[in-house]
Amino acid sequence: MAFDFLSYIVQQAEQQHPSIFTDETKLQRHELITHLIALHLAELQDIAEQKPDRLYEVIHEVEDDWLSKKSLKNIQEHDVAHAFFNHQRLKMQSAGLQTAHLLLTELKQLDQNANLEIDGLKELLQGQFLWMQQQVQSWFWDTIDKPEYKVVESEPEPEFDQAQVTKEFNQMIHQQNHEHHEPVVHVAAPNVEPVEASVLFKLINPIVALLIIIFLFKAIF
- Is 185 domain-assigned? no
* 183: in domain: no
For the chain, the domain total comes to 1
pTM of the model: 0.69
Q: 2-56, pLDDT tens digit by residue?
A: 789 999 999 999 999 999 999 999 999 999 999 999 999 999 999 999 999 999 9
Whether residue 215 is contained in a domain is answered as no
Angle (deg, nearest 10), helices 92-114 and 26-50: 60
In a domain, 218, yes or no: no
pLDDT digits (tens, 9 = 90+) for 106-148: 999 999 999 999 999 999 999 999 999 999 999 999 999 999 9
Q: What is the dihedral of CA 49, 53, 55, 56, to 10 degrees?
A: 140
pLDDT the model gives residue 1: 57
How far does CA 33 lie from the centroid of its chain? 25
Give the range of the structural domain holding residue 31, as residue numbers without chain letter.
5-149
In-domain check, residue 54:
yes
CB contact at 8 A, 33 and 20: yes
Q: What is the DSSP string of the chain?
A: ----HHHHHHHHHHHH-TTTTTTS-HHHHHHHHHHHHHHHHHHHHHHHHH-HHHHHHHHHTT-HHHHHHHHHHHHHTSHHHHHHHGGGGGGHHHHHHHHHHHHHHHHHHHHHHH--HHHHHHHHHHHHHHHHTTTS-THHHHHTT-GGGPPPPPPPPPPP-HHHHHHHHHHHHHHHHHHHTPPPPPPPPPPPPPPPPPHHHHHHHHHHHHHHHHHHHHHH-
Say how far apart CA 89 and CA 36 lie, in whole Å. 12
95 in a structural domain = yes
Q: Is residue 105 part of a domain?
A: yes
In a domain, 9, yes or no: yes
Reported as a single tens digit per residue, the pLDDT across 143-201 is 999 999 987 654 444 444 455 545 644 565 455 455 555 555 554 545 545 445 555 54
